[in-house]
A and B are shown apart, each in its own frame.
Chain A
Amino acid sequence: GAGVSQSPSNKVTEKGKDVELRCDPISGHTALYWYRQRLGQGLEFLIYFQGNSAPDKSGLPSDRFSAERTGESVSTLTIQRTQQEDSAVYLCASSLSGWNTEAFFGQGTRLTVV
């Protein structure tokens, strides 16, 4: 596609439920990033994919968080047993090679856990 696409744009879920967030990167971009941004805060790195491999999972906050990527395409971020502190905007970005190249962001998924 023309840009990075994320779905859903908004998600309200009950505490304890699982949620799945989707990211479609720009076609041909091998690198894909997930970030979390709480209200008024900066971007917190979660995980990075090069192709379908995740060399760095160090940013995942807990074992309730996991992510997958199919080839050099779609990625899903799954949060199990959601907690209120998981409420944030989850941003996905992709770049051509993940090395000295500009990252393009999707519009994010705003997750609210009630």
Chain B
Amino acid sequence: GQNIDQPTEMTATEGAIVQINCTYQTSGFNGLFWYQQHAGEAPTFLSYNVLDGLEEKGRFSSFLSRSKGYSYLLLKELQMKDSASYLCAAYNTDKLIFGTGTRLQVFP
């Protein structure tokens, strides 16, 4: 089976830190992706975790725990332009499956 869950919506303040969680249950798991999607635009790649631990990339970091089927995306020093949907995705055997996305609204 396959299931990817993440919160529907989150809000945060400019300059703050926000953590977006994702839990997954997929067959043949081989890594977890995070994508960013601004309204009316295509998703763009943010990060990929295949091993347990934290991957840091500038203001964005992503964490994976394979044993717990859990990942999070951490966004630091939030900016208004970070308002977007954040999509968690994993390969289910050989097809890439997405969660429904978390819509993040950053307020001044």
Interface residues of A (CB under 8 A from B): 33, 35, 41-43, 45, 48, 50, 55-56, 91, 93, 95, 98-100, 102-108
Contacts and interface: CB of A to CB of B under 8 A. Distances in A.
Contacts of B94: 48, 50, 55-56, 98-99
Interface of B: 30-31, 33, 41-45, 48, 50, 87, 91, 94-101
B81 to A, nearest CB: 19
Given A98-B94, A99-B91, A102-B33, A42 B42 contact: no
A41 B101 CA distance: 8
Given A41-B100, A103-B96, 20 more contacts: A33-B95, A42-B98, A42-B99, A42-B101, A45-B95, A45-B97, A45-B98, A48-B94, A48-B95, A50-B94, A55-B94, A56-B94, A56-B95, A91-B43, A98-B94, A99-B91, A100-B30, A102-B48, A105-B44, A107-B42
Q: Which A-B residue pairs are the 10 nearest by beta carbons? A: A42-B100, A105-B42, A43-B98, A48-B95, A42-B101, A102-B45, A100-B30, A56-B95, A105-B43, A107-B42
A7 to B, nearest CB: 14
A20 B45 CA distance: 27
Contact of B31 (A93, A100, A103): A100
Contacts of A45: 95-98
27 contacts: A33-B96, A42-B87, A42-B100, A42-B101, A43-B43, A43-B87, A45-B95, A45-B97, A45-B98, A48-B95, A48-B96, A55-B94, A56-B94, A91-B42, A91-B43, A93-B96, A98-B95, A98-B96, A99-B30, A100-B30, A100-B31, A102-B33, A103-B45, A103-B96, A107-B41, A107-B42, A108-B42
A93 B99 CA distance: 16
Contacts of B41: 107
B62 to A, nearest CB: 13
A103 B42 CA distance: 11
